[in-house]
Amino acid sequence: MFLMLCASGWVMLGTEQLLDSVQVEDDRYNLAVVHQIGDNHTTCLLYQCNSDDLACNQIKPYDGNCWSLEKSKLEVNPSTNEVNVFIDDEGSDGFRLDFTYGDQPRSYMDKLEWADSDYYLAYFHDYGAQHSTFSFMLYGCEKDSTTCSRLPFRYDTQGLPYGDLEVDEENGEVSVLIRDELIYTYGNSPKCHVEGCSLNDK
């Protein structure tokens, strides 16, 4: 794996450890952790390679924190062929989504477990563009979080503010809050509460 870093232009003092691999059609995806000398921080990197692992490119902008190596893995969504990176879900015995690579790569900011489903607040940003707009989205997943569907919500904002999810069990709704402001509620009647929010699932 060290040769891959050299080939892609990386120069570092440290080692890499392969954590997991999955095959998607003609491509192989490798999840690796970087152990840097003198640094306790464990950075996870995702690579897209050919089936022989001879030609690899790092998937940017993913830069995860694999604090629990035994709970860092890759899974493929069989319906979309997207590659999901899972890491340790702190405070529970399971995993949580950290990043998805596919037609619309996205990172995940918060997870909510409710009513036999997992809900994730995701965000997308085109780091190659000249703007700083981040698009927030909401995903509903089966309990294993491998099969997820995008729900009717999109919120565009400048920069990357913190967001979280809350549940209103009395009304049966999941709320999206950005900068502690109510942006959107999902339930029987999804609703936007601010400008910049739309009921868009594309």
DSSP 5: H
Nearest to 158 by CA among 178, 180, 139: 178
- Count CA atoms closer than 13 A to 51's CA, side-chain side: 4
Tokens of 47: 């690579």
Residue 38: what pLDDT? 64
pLDDT band at 159 (very low <50, low <70, confident <90, very high): confident
Is the confidence at residue 10, as pLDDT, over 60?
no
Cα 135 from Cα 132, distance rounded (Å): 10
Write the pLDDT tens digit of every residue in 30-56. 999 887 766 666 788 999 998 777 789
Mean pLDDT over each residue of the chain, to the nearest integer: 84
